[in-house]
Amino acid sequence: METTKQRDALINSIKARGKHFKRKRKYARIFRDRGFDQIASKLEDCEETELLVCCSSCHSHWYVINRCRSRVCPLCSYRVAKERANYIRSMSRQMKYPKMLTLTMPRWTQAGQEGIRYLRECFNKFKRQKVFKKVVGGAYQIEVKVKPDGYHIHMHIIYDAPFIPYQHIFSAWKKIIGEDAPQIRVESPQSDKAMEYVAKYAAKSADFDGDPDNIVEWYIATKGQRLFTTFGKWYNVKMEELLNPYEVFKPENKCPFCASLGTAFFARDGPFIFGGDVWKSVRVAYTDNLPEYKDIQEIKNQLAAHSETEHAEQKGE
């Protein structure tokens, strides 16, 4: 849970991250116009409101930054991509022959979810081919781009294997995908800097650089679909297992008032934790009738000022 220092750091970074806030707000308007009010509300509130947190030990309360954790949120997806890139880098350090393979498929003109499932099925067939026997394991990220004539769906795979001739990979994938000349690419990063780039590129899933009006189609196409998966030696391996004991760090859920661990909960979850009737009677003791969430006015003011400055610059004032 975020502290006041983290909130202050967030406020100080508004100018640098203003374009991401603007895109998030634009997505919210698009989703609301298309009838997705719940998603729109989550996007509108993300990092612009705070949630009330209570401690079941000392009954203290405080506010933390609200984050929607949605795939379609430029702010939350950036953090997920950063964590995923760190995971890939940590995994690649344990690889003897780290490589990245990009596999594509023909333009998909049906439902996007079906296209993602089809690509996963094709990759599972690919893993059973003789050409894949040298692969120790790895991870893949599926990327989906909305196009006027359908979906461009492809896969970035980080894997550990000695040299495999490009033509062998090409021939195996060509047969599985049913395409005469599928676009594939194999990269073998030779330095930490190169792997840094590969990890960052492979961790990306959402197409936030594309037309914002396509975000609803992207959401529908990827809804309920797992886009990142590990396999082989690293199947279901957690980040902590990739690091040595000195690198492992887990933030503690600690009350800032009484230092109790694991006693903090969101006030909005009170009815589920205590039961509806019980929560009605104890809520006042925990929250002093404070609202469950509130605007972060400092952030909204800075965003408004940032927008006014940008508008003035565009006008040449």
Please state, in angstroms and as integers, the Cα–Cα distance from residue 16 to each residue in 76, 182, 228, following that order: 16, 40, 28
- Give the pLDDT of residue 99: 94
Please give the single-letter amino acid code of residue 180. D
Beta strands 98-104; 184-187: pairing state: antiparallel
CATH class of the structural domain 74-242: alpha beta
Please state, in angstroms and as integers, the Cα–Cα distance from residue 256 to each residue in 11, 57, 243, 277, following that order: 21, 12, 28, 28
Burial state string for 94-104 with b = 16 or more CB within 10 A and e = fewer than 16: ebeebbbbbbb
Please give the single-letter amino acid code of residue 49. T
Query: Which parts of the chain register pLDDT below 70?
Result: 1-4, 6-7, 10-11, 15-16, 240, 243-252, 306-317
Structure tokens at 127: 């893993």
CB 165 within 8 A of CB 182: no
CB 242 within 8 A of CB 199: no
Alpha-carbon distance 155 to 105, whole Å? Answer: 9
Q: Where are the beta strands (DSSP E) in the chain?
A: 49-55, 61-65, 98-104, 137-147, 150-160, 184-187, 228-232, 264-266, 293-295
What is the 8-class DSSP label of residue 261? B
- Give the pLDDT of residue 176: 96
Contacts of 234 by beta carbon, 8 Å cutoff, 6+ apart = 91, 137, 138, 139
- Give the pLDDT of residue 259: 92
- Give the pLDDT of residue 142: 94
User: For 134, what's the count of Cα atoms within 13 Å in the CB-facing half-sphere?
Assistant: 13
Alpha-carbon distance 150 to 107, whole Å? Answer: 6
CB 265 within 8 A of CB 273: yes
Furthest-apart CA atoms within the chain: distance in Å? 70
User: pTM of the prediction?
Assistant: 0.83
| Block residue for tokens 């003897």 | 96
| Block residue for tokens 């040449």 | 316
Alpha-carbon distance 123 to 129, whole Å? Answer: 10
Partners of 280 in beta bridges: none
3-state SS class at 72:
coil
- Give the pLDDT of residue 242: 74
Q: In the chain, list all ranges with CATH 3.30.70.60.
A: 74-242
Alpha-carbon distance 44 to 30, whole Å? Answer: 11
